[in-house]
Every structure is written in C-alpha cells, then in structure tokens.
Structure 1
C-alpha cells in the first residue's frame, strides 16, 4: 500500500451517505464494550494516517474507550516490532496494520485472532471478493480490509496520441504495438519503466491466471511453470528484450517524477492508489492522464489483479479483543469509514464502490474522467484464488537482490530469476519450519 494523502476521486457528498449507511452497522454504534464506568484504552499500530480521522467520532460514541494510534514504523519495521512484543509478552497492541501478503505469516502460527469468533463473518458481503480472500487463511478471517490497490493502467493520453495511438491498449498485444510506436518518438519515450518491481510482475501473472504459490497450512508449493505464469513472464521478457521498457528509471525516484511530468513515460500500471500521488508527482501533466483497466490477455475479457493494499488484525495476545474489534469494524466498515474515504483512502467496500456519486464524480486532473467508475470495476474484476507464501515479506526483499543484475547487465532472463527466487524461498521457508517444495 502507498497511502494517499488527498481525496482525488472521492466526493464530499459521500460522507453523509456513508455515515447514514454505517448507522445500521452492528457494532459501530454507541455503548462501549467495557461499558459502565470502566475505562478502556486501545492501542492501534498504523502507518495509515486516515485511521486517526475515525478516532474522534468513535470516542464521541464510546466515551469510555480511548484510542491511541501509534506509528510503530511502516511495513517491515512494524512487523518486526510486533514479533518482538509477542515474544517478550508485553507491549502488544490491540490492533495492528498488515499488508495483505503478511496476514498468513502472523495467522498460520496463531499470532492473530480469528475474527470470525467476534462476528466478522457478517461483514463479508460488503467487501469485494478478492479483498476478503486476502484476509482469509485456511477458511478463517484474521483481518478486515482497510485499503485496496486494484491494478489499473494510468496512461498519458497526449503522449499516446503523439505516437499515433488513439485509444488506450485494450489487450497486451495492442500494448506491445503501442510500445513500439511510443519508442519511435525517440529520446526517453517509453511505454513503461521497470527495474525489477516484483509486485508489477506478479500482477501480470495474477491477471494471466498464474497461481505460482499454493498454501495449505504450513505446506507451501511454489511453481513458476504453470501456463498463466509462463505467458505473463514470456510477454514481459519480450518487452525487455526489444528494449521497449525503460530499465534505467526506478519508480518513486526524481527521474520517475520527471518522466511522468514531461510525458516521456506513457503508461504506468499500478494500484489504484496512484490516483492520489500522481497529481503531486506530475503536476505539469494535469489533464493529460487517464485511467483504464489493465490490458487483457484476450480481447473482450475483464480480468484484473492487485498491486498493494492493507488490512488490520487483532493480535492473539491483545488485551481488549472485543473492544478492538468494535473500533476495527467502525473504521473499516461502520461509522468511521466516511471520514477515511473523505481523507483519500481507497477502500474495497462495495457500499462505496457501488455508490452513484462515487462512480459519477469527475476528476479534473484526469481530464474530467469518471475515475471512480474505472477503479470500482477494476476492484470487482480482480481474479480470485491468489495466495502468498507466509514468508513473502522476506521473499520480496530477496527478489530485488536476485533481479538487480539482470536489469543492470541484461544477462539472464526473468524465468531464470524466478527459478533462483524459488530456490531461495524453498530453502528459507524450510529453515523457518514450513514444508516448502
């Protein structure tokens, strides 16, 4: 997840709508768990700034509950701190934030609470299926989705037209042909950049139907030779071999901002959260960018993938589980959702994605396009059945080390990188007590 700082696609008219909808939520109203005169303090670990926006409303409805939101570090730093607290038996928060791929790591060894026991199963219908799948491990739900990153193609319409491409590529074959036309513009013009972004590559594999990771309890199977994976890898290898991709510009760098600003980078396939940060990174391209679904592997299909997203779970060692779930439901589903949406959070709640105001609002930066409708469709078409191995937090960092020489020297292939990665994952996973083959 790359957290958005401003609401670029959400209308203020959503706030009253969400507030009214949330009033019917089971645990989001007043009457604190630990009621009467008992005071309960909740500690929430989060690097998502929108969570704090929900605190005032929750505390007003539950005056005996005080919520403290603590930034214990982003991603890896927080996970390490949580593991240390669990091992020490003290300092464990009541709620903690997890990227989707980290949920199995904490859930499988029993470090997270089964939220089904607290009533989470009743909320399933208000989340897109793929997001609910992200927080479900071995049939049990261990977290609630809080933000979402459906993969989408952000494209500079002016650059594509300059290259003779009048419509955004609807298929990957069209994307390949468009890439050649963009490259023909010369200079730094490319249709995309890639320096070894594992999440981008996995989104291609995901959309193509590849399911390289299969997890059953502590058993993990890794295979990068299935049909969908092979198709996606071969396509991107062709793009790299023909030098149609900029392999010198790293995402989130100043050079990346420059190429987005001047239009030399024609497209960027990323999570829907890019709508929030793109205007800040490429202000000179205002009015030129648009958003489309990912190109499809087959004409007429509508299949998507994910790139990022986060959730919140309750550690098994948490002291106030019922009260923690009360707040969790409030800011991910109930009365606190509106304040987070208004502050820029992109959420996988169908109550938001299916709302007419959300789908109909135009965005000036994106040429008055109805961006919400595109991202809602992208969220709803994410292919299901994807799994991450429970040690993916380690695996993603190792991938960069393995892939870097290929992108700097051009020697080797993506298929070879994935096989090396698999070998490292198998070794590491088995050392950690999993059964990996």
Structure 2
C-alpha cells in the first residue's frame, strides 16, 4: 500500500548516488554475513509499516539469539535521506529497510543494497505475483522482498451511480466517460472522480494502456511519453478534464476529500487495493454503498491492470548481520509472520494468501458484503508486465507536482505539455547524477 502520501524529498541535497557507492560497505552482490551462528545478534529495522512489528514476537520466540528493533523512520522520503546519510557517514546503517518499489533502483544500482541471490531467494519467486517480483528485480538481480502491494482497482459508490441512472460499474473507459456525464448531471458537487495532479493515478492509466515511458538498462535511462499507450491514456484523461467531468478542487487525503466520499459526491476512486483498509475510516457514513471492481478496460473483454503503490524490504550492503536480517525478512514477508501481518491489515502480493479461501471468500460488510478479496486477487494477477521506473523517480515525482499544479489551478496548458516539461527536467537531473538519460 502507499503508506506515505507526502510528495517531497529534497533529493538535490543528497550526495549523488554513484559518489556514495564507495561508502556502501561492499558490493551489492556480497554473500551472507553475520548472524549465522548462535551468538546474540541485534537487528535494526527501519519501517513505516506498523504490521512488521507484529511479527517480531513470534520470530524472536523461534530465534532467541536474534533481537529485533523496529524503528519508525518517518515518511519514506525522510527514511531514504537518513539511509543515504548513514551510508555516507559509514555508521548507523540499519539491517533492513523499507522501500517503495520505485525507490529500489536508486539504492540497488550503485551497490547500496545486497543482492539476495546468495540466500536462495529465487526459491520464493513462485509465491509472489509476477509484477511484484519484477518490482524488486533490477538488472536481473533481486534486491528486496515484496511486503505489501497496491494493484489498481476502482472503488465505486453504487448508491451514487444508481442515483445517476447507472445500474452497474463501468467496465470500459468509454462506459466510464458516459457514466461521468450522468453523474455530473446530478449537479452540485457530484463528479465521477477528483484529480489535482495525482501522478500515480495518471501513471496507472498509462501502465494499463500499454504505455512504457521509462526504459532502464543499467545506468542508461530512456524517457518517452509519445508511445501509443501513453498517448491514448493521456488523451482520455485530458478529455475528462477539458469537459469538466473531474473535480479539480478537492485534493486526495484532505478533509474535503473525506467529506466528498462520505456524502457520495465522488462516485469512484481508482487507487491501489490498499484503499480497502483506509476508505472505511475516511467515509464511515458511506458504509454499505461502496463496491470494488477491476479498473475499466480500454477494450471490451480485456483484463489488464496496473499498480498504484506498494513496498518491500531490502538489506543494505553495509549491514553487518545479513544472514540474520534475511532470516527475519523471509519470516515476515513469506514465512510464519506473514499471517500475523495479514490479520493486522497488510495487503500482500503472496499468491498463497491471494488464492486462499480465507482471503477470497470473506464478505466485507463495509462494501455491502461483497467478497472484495477475489476482485483484488484478480487485480494483482493481471498487472501489465514490463513497467520500469527511473532510478531517480523519488526526486522526479516531487518535481511533477510543481509542474502540474499551475495546470490544475488555472486550466491553462495540457497534460502532454506537462509530461514533456517533466521529461526535460528528468533528463537534466538524471545526467547530473551520473546516468545517461535521453
């Protein structure tokens, strides 16, 4: 799940990644080290996911010589900066660190993360949906294990759709467009969706449409927003915005957003599957009205999805307890600690969980007793393959907000122009950081 919603990281203040490679305490491919015997080991884990700590008691009971301390590193951006600083200083580097999927290349490519191949990690591949495994793989090597996941899905208010004369959830984006006009015809603050520059939503549209704007090969990065899939997705959402079918005043995660969800003014939200645990808290008055469906498709009969968020854990190359760290990593992402985290609300990409009757067969009262697990399991399996993020995406996403804000507040310009400006900034920054970007 996208557990951090802040969008700022002063990446310019970070020491360029390749300059830090020498401080990483060894090559990323270094083999197991530390924690292999019976001597006491203390692991430090940096995480903003509260479910990880739930797995500690069971792990320590089975491994009394390993003590685990889970430290909340704050927002993801704060954590990344602190990790870079610790690596540069050569001290205070934790043994396990939580990373959003797009942040893995930034640390993996210059050798700041341990290649987990030495631990036989390939044996775990079959228990993860393919897209999540791809997220933790850089240049053919696995640098982290998936811990939570955000397959894109459409959350829709059935009561609002019925009020607009719509009997079922839109199955295609063409149907979604027609539904948007009917919802808007209700008047007032009724819209089918809101958007004030949500980059992850736009990228999920592009992803699902077959666009692959980022191509990464080692330190070479190619950026292109003119391919067919990208152009199709951008043009569609531009049409929605141009025709006033999207609320551009209400920002996601704000109090106004909560109110709009509560009173049914927003008919749909296309977000990561993690919204199932967040929506009931934000819109309690809408209990029983919401349902979950796959993303609308670009062609009738297709079943293709995308991602919107997700996290993993990797072992810094400078960790002195890699073997013990991997033992705990495997425990809470794959082994005995997994069920504890799932019970605590974690949405994980493990097929053993997603395919289980316990996950798929449970009716969810908030969603009108719908068995939402089956929908989200399918959404996880149909994520389009081949998507990549540039290694400097953490910086890039903060810059996108600066570029998009004027468009959403004034209506002047276009998404296509924003993306081209974004590309230019990314090319300049990436080359300054030692990549070859075009």
Report the TM-score range of the alignment, normalised by the length of the smaller protein. over 0.9
Question: 1: CA distance between counterparts of 2:127 and 2:107?
Answer: 24
Question: 2: CA distance between counterparts of 1:266 and 1:34?
Answer: 54
Quote the offset at 1:33 in angstroms: 4.3
The runs of at least 4 consecutive aligned structure 1 residues that moved more than 6 Å come to none
Question: 2: CA distance between counterparts of 1:72 and 1:247?
Answer: 32
- Is 1:120 matched up with 2:89? no
Question: 1: CA distance between counterparts of 2:269 and 2:159?
Answer: 14
Secondary structure at the residue paired with 2:253?
coil
Q: Deviations over 1:308-347 (max 9, x none)?
A: 0000000011110011000000000000001000000000
Q: Deviations over 1:17-47 (max 9, x none)?
A: xxxxxxxxxxxxxxx94433x1000000000
1:260–1:281 Cα contact (<8 Å) kept:
yes
Question: 2: CA distance between counterparts of 1:34 and 1:104?
Answer: 28
The TM-score with structure 1 as length reference comes to: 0.93
Q: Deviations over 1:224-264 (max 9, x none)?
A: 00000000000000000000000000000000000000001
Task: Look up the match of 2:37.
Answer: 35
Contiguous gaps of at least 5 residues in structure 2: 5-33
Task: Look up the match of 1:282.
Answer: 283
Once the two structures are superposed, the pairs formed by residues 100-115 of structure 1 within 5 Å of their partners are 100-115=101-116
Task: Look up the match of 2:13.
Answer: none
Once the two structures are superposed, the pairs formed by residues 341-380 of structure 1 within 5 Å of their partners are 341-380=342-381
1:97–1:310 Cα contact (<8 Å) kept:
yes
Question: 2: CA distance between counterparts of 1:139 and 1:270?
Answer: 29
Task: Look up the match of 1:385.
Answer: 386
Question: 1: CA distance between counterparts of 2:342 and 2:327?
Answer: 19
Quote the offset at 1:302 in angstroms: 0.5
- Is 1:186 matched up with 2:178? no
Question: 1: CA distance between counterparts of 2:89 and 2:321?
Answer: 18
CA RMSD of the aligned region, Å? 1.0
Number of paired residues? 409
Secondary structure at the residue paired with 1:50?
helix
Task: Look up the match of 1:137.
Answer: 138
Once the two structures are superposed, the pairs formed by residues 249-260 of structure 1 within 5 Å of their partners are 249-260=250-261
Task: Look up the match of 1:397.
Answer: 398
Q: Deviations over 1:46-92 (max 9, x none)?
A: 00000000000000000000000001222110000000000000000
Question: 2: CA distance between counterparts of 1:58 and 1:408?
Answer: 50
Task: Look up the match of 1:97.
Answer: 98
Question: 1: CA distance between counterparts of 2:217 and 2:352?
Answer: 32
Secondary structure at the residue paired with 2:431?
helix
Contiguous gaps of at least 5 residues in structure 1: 5-31
Task: Look up the match of 1:270.
Answer: 271
Task: Look up the match of 1:302.
Answer: 303
